[in-house]
Homo-oligomer: A and B are copies of this chain.
């Protein structure tokens, strides 16, 4: 928010967001259920999935734990 990202950085954030959405849907969770499970705001989860957030490792870890997967699996995107 406010920071200017390069085109490839923006694309990277979008890929991570898509990956998180995919894994959330695989786990059959709504954004609301996931947000409750990882103690993050639902609107924050939405903005992460849209690639609008430069998410930190602590929040990635919260999401990974809620999805019962490794943090590195969230970053397993094609560049």
Chain A residues in contact with chain B, CB under 8 A? 5, 9, 12-13, 16, 54-58, 60-61, 70-73, 75-76
A48 to chain B: closest residue by CB: B57
A61 to B55 Cα, complex, angstroms: 12
Copies in the complex: 2
| 26 chain-A/chain-B pairs, Cβ below 8 angstroms | A5-B58, A9-B58, A9-B61, A12-B57, A12-B58, A12-B61, A13-B57, A13-B58, A16-B57, A54-B56, A54-B57, A54-B58, A55-B56, A55-B57, A56-B56, A56-B57, A57-B60, A57-B75, A60-B75, A70-B75, A71-B75, A72-B72, A72-B73, A72-B75, A72-B76, A75-B75
